[in-house]
Structure 1
Amino acid sequence: MPLAATLFCLVVAISDGDTLTVRCGSPGAYEQVKVRVAAIDAPESRQAFGQKSRQNLARLCFKQRAALQWLDEDSYGRKVANVRCNGTDVAAAQVRAGLAWVYTHYAHDHPHLVPLQQQARASGSGLWSQKRPLAPWDYRRRHAR
């Protein structure tokens, strides 16, 4: 799949608040692809708001047609993409709801996300309702096996 091309696929599974599985292609020649939503990091499943984040992504995308713009591949072999479901920018929706953090390292390529995170934080939405929310990257570091 070429980078920066937009592909339309059916969302067939939701792993967590920033990862989904899509089925692309035509009948008889489908390909299932695991996709990481670009520029965000959702709470881990066992972390506070992890399940709510996953449920919100499912509400937005499960069994929907997603427009995917491939950007990269991550260290786990997942495709990293800008994802839109029903015309909704999934990264923006997750951040706006307080159900994902903006991945600071990639924020310069997605400048629209930072103000959404600031608004969610100011209003105490989602994970920002916690006294000291723990970023998923810090959670993974603390719970590494």
Structure 2
Amino acid sequence: MVKTESRIRVRNDTLLTSSRNYVSPQGILEFYNFPIPSLPTASPNYQPSLLPEGVQFVLNTLPVYDKCIGDGDGFTAYVPTTDPRESANVPLEVHELVIARTQARKCRDYQSADALLSSLDEAGYKIISCSDDEVLARKYRIRMRGIDAPELKMPYGKESRNALVKLIGGKSVKIYVYDLDQFGRYVGDIYCNNLFIQEQMLKNGHAWHFKTYDKRPEFARWEREARAANRGLWASGNPEKPWVWRRDQRNARQDAIQVY
């Protein structure tokens, strides 16, 4: 009993001594021999490399889940917090949730652990299983820059989504982020396995060039090529434009509200 109390005092004294400076969440987990789901270490010396004009930052994602691809021009991606840019920006709240979940699992309190996972999701983070490890990752909603694909309820909507699934589903992608749109989505150019994904979607007739927001001449050329060859959605002759469809849907909802 005396030896046990002595060990407890030693542990407490060690923690108190460390806390005069800083006790990292990872240090606490290591101290108690808890497994760590790839908690990031901040990188204060991280300096971003030179980026193309207009690019705010670059995301290197984990493999994209098929179910996270909403349609032909948007998807949800996860970036591991071991990435230098992410590691320095993980909120303290998220660190605490990860530690609490680890402790709950250690005690086999799986109900609490699942509830903490939900709280992590609400905070914009997710613990993802990769091989035999768990990775803490940040969630990003992505809007592909310069193209507009049919909505799922439109003709060719499912085909467009399936085309994007074939290109990026189950694969890691690199995203050059240019902007944040009004819906909280990160707008960017997508690359996967050395392919420029917007180029593939346009050339194969799976999307329109979104001329209102993007003036790149190559995008217009790729769309013209697909039209001329009757590829994808252009095989129907005169497909409905998604921005017109969305406008009509909004107007119909407003009319319904006024009638009510």
Question: Which protein is richer in helix relative to its size?
Answer: 2
Between the aligned residues of both structures, percent identity stands at: 31
Q: Partners of 2:217 and 2:238 in 1: how far apart?
A: 24
The question of whether the paired residues in 2 share the 8 Å contact of 1:16 and 1:44 is answered with yes
| 2:98 pairs with 1:98 | no
What is the aligned partner in structure 1 of residue 59 from structure 2? 7
Q: Partners of 2:135 and 2:174 in 1: how far apart?
A: 21
Question: Which protein is richer in strand relative to its size?
Answer: 1
Match of 1:114 among 220, 228, 231: 220
Q: Partners of 1:111 and 1:22 in 2: how far apart?
A: 28
More divergent stretch after superposition (40-49 vs 125-134): 125-134
Residue 4 of structure 1, CA deviation = 3.0
Question: Could you tell me the TM-score, scaled by structure 1's length?
Answer: 0.92
Q: CA RMSD in A?
A: 1.5
Structure exhibiting the larger radius of gyration computed from Cα positions: 2
User: Which sections of structure 2, spanning at least 5 residues, go unmatched?
Assistant: 1-47, 49-54, 83-133, 254-260
1:110-144 Cα shifts (integer Å, max 9, x gaps): 32111110000011111111132111000111122
The question of whether the paired residues in 2 share the 8 Å contact of 1:37 and 1:83 is answered with yes
Question: Could you tell me the TM-score, scaled by structure 2's length?
Answer: 0.53
The question of whether the paired residues in 2 share the 8 Å contact of 1:96 and 1:117 is answered with yes
Q: Partners of 1:71 and 1:107 in 2: how far apart?
A: 12
Residue 28 of structure 1, CA deviation = 4.3
